[in-house]
Amino acid sequence: MPPLQWESRPDGLRAPALVCAFKGWNDAGDAASAALSFVGSSLGATRFATIDPEEFFDFQATRPRIRVVEGGTREITWPEIEVFAARVPRAPRDLILVQGSEPSMRWRSFCKLVLDLAEALGTQMVVSLGALLADVPHSRPVGVTGLASEPSLVTRLNVNPAAYEGPTGIVGVLHAACAASGMPTASLWASVPHYVAAAPNPKAALALVRHLEQLVGVSVDASELEGAAADYERQVNLAVQSDPDVQAFVDRLEQAVEAEESDTGPTDLPSGDVLAREFQRFLRQRGSEGPGGAGGPGGAGGPGSPFG
Each residue of 235-251: pLDDT tens digit?
Answer: 998 888 888 888 888 88
Alpha-carbon 23 to chain mean position? 7
Confidence at residue 224, expressed as pLDDT on a 0 to 100 scale: 94
State how far the Cα of 175 lies from the Cα of 189, in Å rounded to an integer: 12
**Threshold 0.95, pTM exceeds:** no
Q: What is the pLDDT of residue 276?
A: 53
At residue 16, the pLDDT reads 97
Low-confidence ranges of the chain (pLDDT < 50): 264-272, 274-275, 278, 281-282, 285-306, 308
Check residue 267 and give its pLDDT: 43
Q: According to the model, what pLDDT value does residue 295 have?
A: 32
Q: What does the pLDDT read at residue 117?
A: 96
Q: Which residues contact 85 (CB under 8 A, 6 or more apart)?
A: 10, 13, 16, 45, 46, 48, 94, 95, 96, 97
Give the chain's domains with CATH numbers. 4-224 (3.40.50.10900), 228-289 (no CATH)
